[in-house]
Structure 1
């Protein structure tokens, strides 16, 4: 009788150690998010589902609470998430086109602020824990749309997805979105399973590229910028260092992002050999914990 008991304990322990992120219990911090690579063309586009890229605060609903992509619980008022489905959802807290700062300000507060959250919606684009590890995106999307439709909550919306037949159609949609103040498009392979980290099954298409880096030092300015910030020395998550010297307002040069802060920058491709961004331009500071 001792061996069967030990065997049962062994398999219970193995199940806990081997449990994938989609099997985690509600209430736990979210796994590392799925991240997109840049669209380079040459795809069979009917195999992909395409949506607008929402410029908001990435968030994860675990069925009970909202979390940032770094795992910090977000201060959403109870009325904001009332009636949401008890399933994990990945998406963006969004305040509308060109209103990123409004969404970031609401999410960065330590206490819920009703007024700050009234202009927000959670735009859900995936249900990562629906089914098992091999469940394709198209099937997860169907479950997400059904659950959000049943909930009928104005603060929760499913991101509209559609297929395009050709690259000409895709680029025409990109021009339409960006002319209206949108950021770009997202492409998700319809048969792709969910996975954390950067994935070639999820792509972003924008007129420009952007990324994040951590501030390492403030470099002094010269000429008209003497006595204030000339450039930021930053480091990418991969450990590469470079300077960002443009895109700052006068106020930001007087009081630059602190050392240790994460900043978003835009760039135009990469230098051959070094792989460093070309024409890096400061865009904004990412609030701590978001």
Structure 2
């Protein structure tokens, strides 16, 4: 617990009847039901109760709520003083006349329960039992929702796997120590209370329970395994914070770091932090009203190398191993509406009156690096990213050849910057021509080819006018656990235990860097893996390889593999 003064220990000279430390709980029994108990808990600057009266004050900040159970435990005088103090700390727009719930001193409050008791005396015991059970069930649900949503940081202890990697964690560069190149060593003259080198970890104790959370420095940001950090999914990874980071690094340092990383963006609400929870929650509430954009883009069907339709006359291009992105005239988004945090100078390269479909790309076999960079705000590594444009949906009714020509005219000068490129398309002369191009691309480390039907319009959704070709298949799986490493991998993760959409279980043991083996994807995350064949039991064989975390997927998806790409081995779920 912090050594700072406890703001709830004494208020205006009044102490609580029962002192609760931060995170301490106490039970209060309902007066209307001998079997119902409510949980009272101290969480940082406020108390909460699981009773309906406390929950129904949802329009008030949590620090300015009370109920008769809190008054009974803490005392009327103390609660009056606490609510008054909480009110004075609120911003003007949130201030209101305090609602002091004193059933004892209010004649109306005394009258209502009496009449209610008489009116319900004739109800059956069965109905009363159902009501109590429903109330108790509701209390359990509310406790969970309070812990996850209404407390400034999370208070729920969650089981952690033996090795955890925060979703979207970038690949770390070599640690720079505290030298002049270390962007986090000092910000605006403010140094962290505890310096962490790139890749270094520490632990922070939960303020509300016995849980320990892992804090880690990864290149230009810190992450914490607490729910509060993870719940800031709409903010860039380098603009997320939590009360554990503020405790370890210092509040002044964290405010400076967040302000530099994302001065006007989604991370601004997090910068307010625990020191002003009402303001932080207000900003988060405003952000939550924003409707998430989604983009119904053109999606490809698979072209089978041996049995697919004749591609003669189609247009072939390299299938880029990057991040699919749509530019809507202002910002870059994934097709499912996740924002990519491109810097202004990058955004200024693109016209504001068109919609563009393409790939954010940093080179072959750099998928994971690309994911890391595009989810980071104000990152100098955005200079390594280029946008490879393959279509212009805002002119989608025109034939493909006209759309491609329009793109070339729009960006003929911008391509010189190296960060904008119109994807090159080659006219296919035969099936063998496609196979030759595929072999050339895969030899160079590319992922495969895309085929476009000549004269086709831009369709929204999956279409036979766009086909993808790969010797390997990609699919998504959910991480269930870890196999310990052996030999050179002893002491780290050896393989990921995964489950397919079909329910089949298998292991992914190749394709990992040493760093990824030390910090593998967390349990429950969705990964992309690559393989050549399936067994007849439809399980990947021949060493399925890890590609990266699937940042836009929340469920696994199996690949469609023709029968002739299935082997004879029957290995069940233990492949």
| TM-score, normalisation: structure 1 | 0.75
C-alpha distance in 1 between matches for 2:538 and 2:292 = 37
Matches within 5 A, 1:9-158: 29-41=293-305, 42-85=308-351, 86-109=353-376, 111-113=377-379, 115-132=380-397, 135-149=398-412, 154=417, 155-158=419-422
- Could you tell me which runs of 5 or more consecutive residues in structure 1 were left unpaired when the two chains were aligned: 1-26
Q: Relative to 1, partners in 2 of residues 1:222 and 1:53: Cα closer, same or farther, differing over 3 Å? A: closer
- Render the CA deviation track for 1:188-219: whole Å, top value 9, x for unaligned: 2223333344433222222322222232x105
Q: Relative to 1, partners in 2 of residues 1:70 and 1:131: Cα closer, same or farther, differing over 3 Å? A: closer
Query: Which structure is higher in RCO with an 8 Å CA cutoff and minimum separation 6?
Result: 1
- Could you tell me which runs of 5 or more consecutive residues in structure 2 were left unpaired when the two chains were aligned: 1-290, 554-575
Aligned partners of 2:333 and 2:340 also within 8 Å: yes
Q: Relative to 1, partners in 2 of residues 1:251 and 1:158: Cα closer, same or farther, differing over 3 Å? A: closer
Aligned partners of 1:220 and 1:227 also within 8 Å: no
Match of 1:242 in 2: 505
C-alpha distance in 2 between matches for 1:39 and 1:91 = 20
C-alpha distance in 1 between matches for 2:478 and 2:383 = 31
Aligned partners of 2:359 and 2:388 also within 8 Å: yes
| TM-score, normalisation: structure 2 | 0.40
Aligned partners of 1:104 and 1:287 also within 8 Å: no
Aligned-pair Cα RMSD in Å: 3.0
C-alpha distance in 2 between matches for 1:250 and 1:102 = 15
C-alpha distance in 1 between matches for 2:486 and 2:445 = 35
How far the C-alpha of 1:63 sits from its partner, in A, is 1.4
Q: Relative to 1, partners in 2 of residues 1:222 and 1:101: Cα closer, same or farther, differing over 3 Å? A: closer
How far the C-alpha of 1:239 sits from its partner, in A, is 4.9
C-alpha distance in 2 between matches for 1:153 and 1:63 = 21
C-alpha distance in 2 between matches for 1:93 and 1:223 = 37
Match of 2:442 in 1: 178
Match of 2:534 in 1: 270
Match of 2:570 in 1: none
Q: Relative to 1, partners in 2 of residues 1:130 and 1:280: Cα closer, same or farther, differing over 3 Å? A: farther
Structure showing the higher helix proportion among its residues: 2
C-alpha distance in 1 between matches for 2:483 and 2:409 = 55
- Render the CA deviation track for 1:3-22: whole Å, top value 9, x for unaligned: xxxxxxxxxxxxxxxxxxxx
1:112 is paired with a residue whose SS is: coil
C-alpha distance in 2 between matches for 1:117 and 1:87 = 22
Aligned partners of 1:186 and 1:202 also within 8 Å: yes
